[in-house]
């Protein structure tokens, strides 16, 4: 039984490492491309591109992960998320969750379709939700083990006037 457990762990590690293969060496997406908004209509458009580059072995959104980025949204605004899996291999999803390793969206409609299976490479999905509850949430990939590998950032619904994106810390190799 212990031998089967070790084999399973090895398979998972190899699968995680392979999921990042084939991603380009491109730089992380500039923060100003993450979101746009319409203050009059109180809407935010958030663009998430899973596996954008090799940062964190491809387990990133727009080239950032492990909580590097903070997206702030005013309470009561409608958030429209566009999730584009442009990775050459591997399935990814986009979801807004409360807490770590949670597999249920924090708001109705706050995940790409079948988030645990993920979108196949080359597929895009959009979803939207109303930011009704203040607090800190996670932008996460819910494909098993992807969040643990670093595929998450932070969404805060806060008493701010306008939406914003902030880099909290740089990638270790950028220091």
Give the model confidence (pLDDT) of 32-53 as tens digits: 899 999 999 999 999 999 999 9
**What pairs with residue 45 in β-bridges?**
36, 80
Query: pLDDT value at position 150?
Result: 95
Query: pLDDT value at position 171?
Result: 65
**What pairs with residue 154 in β-bridges?**
70, 138
- The DSSP call for residue 92 is B
Cα-based angle 20, 21, 27 (whole degrees, multiple of 5) = 70
Query: 6: exposed, middle or buried (C-beta count within 10 Å: 0-12, 13-18, 19+)?
Result: exposed
- Please give the backbone phi and psi of residue 26, each rounded to the nearest 5 degrees, phi first: -70, 155
Task: Give me the numbers of helices (H) and strands (E) for the chain, helices first please.
Answer: 1, 9
Average pLDDT of the chain, as a whole number: 86
pLDDT of 74 over the 90 cut: yes
User: Residues of 15-31 as b/e, b for ≥16 C-beta within 10 angstroms?
Assistant: ebeebbeebeeeebbeb
Mean pLDDT of 140-144: 97
Mean pLDDT of 120-137: 97
The model's confidence at residue 128, banded by pLDDT at 50, 70 and 90, is very high
Query: pLDDT value at position 112?
Result: 98
Measured between alpha carbons, how far is 103 from 85 in angstroms, rounded to an integer? Answer: 19
Query: pLDDT value at position 101?
Result: 79
**Tokens representing residue 86 in the block:** 């442009």
Measured between alpha carbons, how far is 106 from 27 in angstroms, rounded to an integer? Answer: 30
pLDDT of 22 over the 70 cut: no
Identify the CA nearest to 107 among candidates 149, 73, 84. 73
Q: Which has the higher per-residue pLDDT, 113 or 21?
A: 113
Query: pLDDT value at position 172?
Result: 61
Give the domains, in start order, of the chain with CATH numbers: 2-174 (2.60.40.420)
pLDDT of 134 over the 80 cut: yes
Window from 4-13, 43-52, 61-70, 157-166 with minimum mean pLDDT: 4-13
The model's confidence at residue 173, banded by pLDDT at 50, 70 and 90, is low
């Amino acid at each position: 039984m212990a031998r089967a457990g070790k084999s399973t762990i090895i398979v998972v590690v190899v699968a995680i490492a392979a999921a990042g293969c084939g991603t380009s060496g491109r730089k992380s997406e500039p923060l100003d491309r993450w979101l746009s908004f319409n203050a009059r209509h109180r809407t935010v458009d958030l663009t998430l591109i899973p596996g954008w580059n090799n940062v964190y072995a491809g387990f990133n959104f727009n080239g950032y992960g492990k909580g590097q980025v903070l997206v702030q949204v005013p309470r009561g605004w409608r958030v429209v998320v566009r999730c584009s899996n442009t990775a050459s291999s591997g399935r990814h999803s986009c979801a807004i969750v409360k807490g770590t390793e949670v597999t249920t969206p924090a708001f109705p409609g706050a995940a790409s379709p079948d988030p645990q299976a993920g979108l196949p490479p080359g597929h895009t999905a959009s979803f939207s939700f109303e930011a009704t509850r203040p607090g800190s949430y996670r932008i996460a990939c819910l494909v098993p083990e992807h969040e643990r590998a670093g595929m998450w950032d932070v969404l805060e619904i806060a008493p701010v006037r306008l939406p914003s994106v902030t880099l909290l810390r740089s990638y270790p190799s950028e220091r």
